[in-house]
Amino acid sequence: MQNTNPHAVLLASPGMGHFIPVVELGKRLATHHGFDVTIFVVVADASITESPLFKPPRTPNPLNLVLLPPVDISALVDSTSSVASQLVIMMREALPSLRADISAMKYHPTALIVDLFGTEALAIAEEFDMLKYVFITSTAWFLAVTVHFPYIDEEAEHNHRVMKRPLDIPGCRSIRFEDTLDLFLDQTGDRNLFSGFTRVGMEISNADGILVNTWQDLEPLTLRALENEKFLGRVVKASVYPVGPLVRPTRQSSKSEVMDWLDMQPMESVIYVSFGSGGTLSAKQTSELAWGLELSQHRFIWVVRPPVDGDASANFFNVTNSHDGTPSFLPDGFFTRIRNRGMVVPMWAPQTEILAHKSIGGFFSHCGWNSTLESMVNGVPMVAWPLYAEQQMNAAMLTEELEVAVQPKIRPNAGVIEREEIAEMVRRVMELKGNEMRDKVKELQRSANHVLMQGGSSYNSLSRVSKECELKLHRLSAMALGA
C-alpha cells in the first residue's frame, strides 16, 4: 500500500545559498502541507555536516536529511572551469547515488524537487513516475532570463555580450550589460557554459511546476510575463509558483559578544557589513572599505574575511597582527580608532539574529538572494555591493525598482570603490535617505510576513503544489490496487 501522505524528495546543490532555501522549503511542505520530506544534499566534502541544520534539533524534526557521498570531480575540471560548470558536473556525478537511494525506498516518492543545478535529475523523476519540480532559489527575473536564454539568437547575444547593449526579456525589464550575468561577462565565449545554461533553461520549462523564492507583490510584472502566452508563457510549459520568502528563522541564540554589543547600541544605529559565505574583496578594496566605515562615523559590525587578489593571493590567509590586534590587511591602528563604535568579526557571524536585532539600521550586502530576503523580512535597507552570479541583477532591482538600497556609481567588479563614496553610501542609508528607504522596506516586510500566512499568496501557491501531489498519490494508489 502507498503512503497516506505525499512524499517529496528535494535535491540541494552544494553551497549554503542553495542548501538553506531548500531546507526551508522542505520544512514548510512538512509542517504546513502534510508532506513526508526527504532532502538529499550534494556536497564537495563533508564539512556541511558542521552546520547547525545537521545537528539534532531540540524539537521533533519533520525532515529526513540525507548527505549523498561526496563526489570527486578533480579529473573533470581544470583551473579555468567556472563555479557554475563545476556545480553542474558535481550534480551529474551524484545522480547514480540519488537513483540508488530512491530505488531502495519501499514506496517511490510522489515528487522530486531540484534546484537550478540539479535539473538533470528530473530524468530520475520520470523513471520512477514522480512529479518533477524545479525550485529557483533566486528571483522571478532570474528565472525569466534562464527560460528565455535558449531562444536568444546570435545577433541578440552579440549585441549584449560584445556591443554591451541591453538584453530584452519578453514582458520583463531589460538587463543592462553592467547588470548582466557572469555568463555574458565571459569574454572567452565559453560555448560549453552557454550550451549548459541552454539545457537548464529547456529542462526548467518542461518541468511539471516551477517554484520560486519570491512572492507575488514583489515581482508582479515578471510573474505575469512567465504566465502570459504573449511573453514567456509561450515557452514555459509549467505553472510558476511564487513560494517565498523562504529564509532561515531567527533562533533563540545563546549570549555572544556580538549580540551583547548590539544590545548596548541605540535603535537602528548600526550598519551590518557582510559579503556572504563566498564573497571576497581585494586587498585594496578591503582597506578602502575599512577607511570608508571609519569615515562614515556610524556604528558598524563587519564580518571580515582575508582579501584575495586572484589566485596568487592565498598568502593573505597567513596574516600578521599589529600592536592593537588589527590584521595586516586592515589599516594600521584600525581597531584602536573604531573601538567604541565598531566591531570586527572574523569569518562568520549569526546573520539572521543580527539582522533581526532592533539596533540594526542598515545592511552592507553582496546582494545574494538569501541575504537580500533576510534583509527584507527584517525591514532593513541596504547598501548594494554585488560581486558575482546574478547579484548585479538583484542590486538593480533593489535600487531602481524597489528603492530599498543604494549602490556605488561604478560596479565593484569594475574597479576599486573609494573610501569617500563608501562613507557617503553608509550615511545615505543610515541618515540622508534612510527614512524613505526604511519606509519602503518596512512595507516589503509587512507584505513578506503576510504572504506566508494561511491564505497568503505564497501559502496558497504551496497548497496548489500539494493538491497536485495528492492527486498523483491517489492515481498511484489506484494503480497499485488495480495491479
List the catalytic residues: 18, 115
Enumerate the β-bridge partners of residue 362. 271
User: At 334, phi and psi to the nearest 5?
Assistant: -60, -45
Residue 179 CA to residue 246 CA, distance in Å, equals 25
**Phi and psi torsions of 358, nearest 5°:** -65, -20
Q: Which ranges in 338-368 belong to alpha helices (H)?
A: 351-355
* Euclidean distance between CA atoms 459 and 170, whole angstroms: 28
Residue in 97, 130, 114 with CA at minimum distance from that of residue 200: 114
Q: What is the Cα–Cα distance from 40 to 69, expressed in whole angstroms?
A: 10
**Helix/strand/coil (H, E, C) string of 108-174?**
CCCEEEEEHHHHHHHHHHHHCCCEEEEEECCCHHHHHHHHHHHHCCHHHHHHHHCCCCCECCCCCCC
Element of type H or E holding 64: strand 63-67
Do 208 and 133 meet the contact criterion of CB atoms below 8 Å apart?
yes
| Strand order from edge to edge, sheet including 299-304 | 342-346, 299-304, 270-274, 360-365, 382-384, 405-406
* C-alpha dihedral sign at 355, 250, 459, 134: positive
Angle at 281 between CA 277 and CA 283, to 5 degrees: 140
**Three cell numbers, residue 107:** 514506496
Residue 60: cis peptide before it, omega within 30 degrees of 0? no
